[in-house]
Amino acid sequence: MKLHPQVAAALAARPRPTQEQIAADPMAQLVATRDAMVAAVEVECGPPMPIAHVSDVDADGVLCRLYVPVPGAPVVLFLHGGGWVMGSLETHDGLCRRIADRSGCAVLSVDYRLAPECPYPAALDDAETALGWLRREAEGVDATRIAVCGDSAGGHLAAVLARRQRDAGTPLAYQVLIYPVIDPTMAAESYQQLSDYGLESTAMALFWAMFLGDAGDRESPDIAPLAADLAGLPPALILTAEYDVLRDEGERYGEALLAAGVPAVVARYLGVNHGWVRKLALFDAAGVAADQVAAGLRAALTA
């Protein structure tokens, strides 16, 4: 399969710093990249899809956005991507709206704290706080039926959250991991083969370093999901991109779930690169992928 022409348009839609610029001043480039990601939302994601009820809520101190397509809907806790260092409610608003509309499920999008200002475990703590609030206090939804969904670094948080909830005896019903970050060793061949398509291995190494700071144990299951006992985790849908450094580790995680007896569907989208699913205005495959996510959630939560 060849690289889809829409990848070139997507890469041109948002400026990205060179490796030399990142090495010279990582924080200045991070701030610029955060701003560029937000500025490109309209071009990348298109106009917002109307949802019956959308509100920003304070989930025990964590800012979240709740999308409710119909009263009493089951809920998806959504954790955005961005290498744990960027991304926001705004950058993933379009994807959350599409998922809510197509699935009939409510979506609670979590604006967790970002590294390096707030390194590990801040993002995971915020995700758990938002989930606790959702179960206790969210109005207009059915919080007895909850799934978790995340893309990229949000996929990492989603995988860890699903395992921690299993261990706590409060299991989630389903997990959706969209090109998830899984392996802190970055040992997969895809890092060597696919570093020229928007997400570079050097950038991913910097994201890991900023996320973990001085606190993270790279062998802990909270950092490396493959280090955990995976038996008994909720059924999973994992999407990967053919031209993505994260492709191999996401697919390996799916294989490990299956080996542990966890129902899992792993779908590799051909011709596309990292980050395509939220870019609904640039990729034909983005709508297809978002609708596959929505269909999986609908089947898991409303059957």
- The upper half-sphere exposure of residue 175, i.e. CA atoms within 13 Å in the direction of its Cβ, equals 33
Instruction: Check 103, 152, 222, 248 and give the catalytic one.
Output: 152
Instruction: Indicate if 80 belongs to the active site.
Output: no
User: From its phi and psi, is residue 72 left (phi > 0), alpha (psi between -120 and 50) or beta?
Assistant: left
Q: Backbone phi, then psi, for 36, in 5-degree steps?
A: -65, -35
Instruction: Check 93, 126, 244, 248 and give the catalytic one.
Output: 244
CA gap 194, 249 in Å, rounded: 13
Q: Which residue has the tokens 């967790």?
A: 112
Name, in order, each residue with C-beta under 8 angstroms of 220's C-beta and a sequence gap of 6 or more: 227
Structure tokens at 105: 């499920």
Instruction: Indicate if 274 belongs to the active site.
Output: yes
Instruction: Check 80, 92, 156, 274 and give the catalytic one.
Output: 274
CA gap 15, 290 in Å, rounded: 25
Structure tokens at 45: 């994601």
Instruction: Indicate if 244 belongs to the active site.
Output: yes
Catalytic residues: 152, 244, 274
